[in-house]
Amino acid sequence: MGNLLYLVAVILILGWAVGFFGYQAGSVIHLLLVVAIVVILLRIIQGKRPV
């Protein structure tokens, strides 16, 4: 389950980067970035490392 959250965070960050630099899609892209950062922070707070 932990690896899945990490994968989702990476995908969201990549989606944000593509949208921000490629399409300028507005607030939806920034929402993706916030969700990705929250997922990464949860993993850091829980102290879990990727396997």
Domain definitions of the chain by residue range: 2-46
Q: Quick: pLDDT tens for 16-37.
A: 777 766 666 566 767 777 888 8
pLDDT band at 15, cuts 50/70/90?
A: confident
* Gap between the Cα atoms of 1 and 32, Å rounded: 20
**Residue 40: predicted pLDDT:** 80
Reported in sequence order, the residue ranges of 1-51 that DSSP labels E, i.e. its strands, are: none
